Copies of this chain bind each other. A is one copy, B any other.
């Protein structure tokens, strides 16, 4: 079967935006088409990754509005929802649409508009993605993160500072990403002195609430060669769920969905953890970066914190740069956009368009996590040049 390529990428400014989600999606979509020099009329399938435009804006059918606004009608449309991993699920949907032969030009756009809601309102919408037995008793995603972080630190004798260092690193990377919500450095003290959210985690252990959109353009490799000298190939992609009731899991530090989707993506690609040159992990909470590093085989269980301490994941000096984009922590986390934006960063790193964030990379990996690992997508991309 012919390989699936990515020939264009874009993302809007992340942060507090005034536009409604359809305009954010349209902006990223048009930029992506321009980046690839492909006309909207060539788009056969359009996938929109978006978790909750109905809940956030009282507006549904946004995928049809985008098709209309970019001039892609009569392209087939579909909204892809997999909660916080909707963007990664969109990459899987786009891959399937091309790999199945259904479409020769598939545009994926992910986006969310959230900042017009209060933090409480936004938290209510996000909490509803978990099991009612948990969130209706007050155990929301930040609570899971706090409980898991405490368990991890005690069990593996990890210093509290190691979590803070994830945030510090990702903020440092975000300084060089003009689209990031926060472009400012922080230090370990900033994290440790910020307000407690879910003990031991504090405000700076968490990603912000964000508006924004990102897009990628998929086609068969033979079509990619017509449009571009350099492009990226989806080498491996797989998704998996874990127990929807989080407290049913045997080991709270093992995210089954990360392990399963990672194994699937490695197997499909023929690559292993040692082959990955750059990775975007879903650092909605700092502790998640440790759990994904371990679940994906970048570190042994209980040892990711040591790699972070040693600088292994630093952008300019580390063996495996993680979250060169700034991650969700500093770039921001517009739910449906985040997984797509991870793909955008890996694409830019692989085609050499990452500017001051550029690292030397032939193979990149993105891991997009929904809920507290309730559903996960891992994608491995490689440069074709």
Give the interface of A toward B (CB within 8 A): 1, 51-52, 54-55, 58-61, 63-65, 67-69, 72-83, 89, 92-93, 95-97, 99-102, 125, 128-132, 238-245, 256-257, 260-261, 370-371, 374-375
Known: A54-B52, A78-B80. A100 touches B93 (CB 8 A): no
Residues of B close to A60: CB separation below 8 A: 51-52, 55, 81, 83, 125, 128-129
Let me know if A78 and B68 touch, CB within 8 A.
no
Known: A54-B52, A68-B245, A244-B68. A63 touches B78 (CB 8 A): no
Residues of B close to A69: CB separation below 8 A: 244
5 A-B pairs within 8 Å (CB atoms) are namely: A60-B125, A61-B374, A68-B241, A96-B102, A99-B100
Please tell me which one of the listed residues B76, B82, B96, B371 contacts residue A97 in the complex, with CB atoms under 8 A apart. Answer: B96
Closest to A260 in B: B74
User: Complex: how many Å from CA A92 to CA B78?
Assistant: 10
User: Complex: how many Å from CA A42 to CA B121?
Assistant: 39
Let me know if B371 and A61 touch, CB within 8 A.
yes
Let me know if B128 and A74 touch, CB within 8 A.
no
Best-surrounded residue of A69, A101, A375 (most CB of chain B within 10 A): A375
Known: A1-B101, A99-B100, A101-B99. A241 touches B81 (CB 8 A): no
Residues of B close to A239: CB separation below 8 A: 76-78
Q: Name the distance in Å between A118's Cβ and chain B's nearest Cβ.
A: 16
Let me know if B64 and A241 touch, CB within 8 A.
yes
Best-surrounded residue of A60, A72, A130, A242 (most CB of chain B within 10 A): A60
Q: Name the distance in Å between A265's Cβ and chain B's nearest Cβ.
A: 12
Best-surrounded residue of A67, A244, A245 (most CB of chain B within 10 A): A244
Q: Name the distance in Å between A76's Cβ and chain B's nearest Cβ.
A: 4
User: Complex: how many Å from CA A128 to CA B69?
Assistant: 17
Q: Name the distance in Å between A88's Cβ and chain B's nearest Cβ.
A: 10
User: Complex: how many Å from CA A69 to CA B245?
Assistant: 10
Residues of B close to A76: CB separation below 8 A: 92, 238-241, 261, 375
Residues of B close to A68: CB separation below 8 A: 131, 241, 243-245
Residues of B close to A240: CB separation below 8 A: 74-76
Residues of B close to A55: CB separation below 8 A: 54-55, 60
Residues of B close to A100: CB separation below 8 A: 95-96, 99-100
Residues of B close to A370: CB separation below 8 A: 61, 64
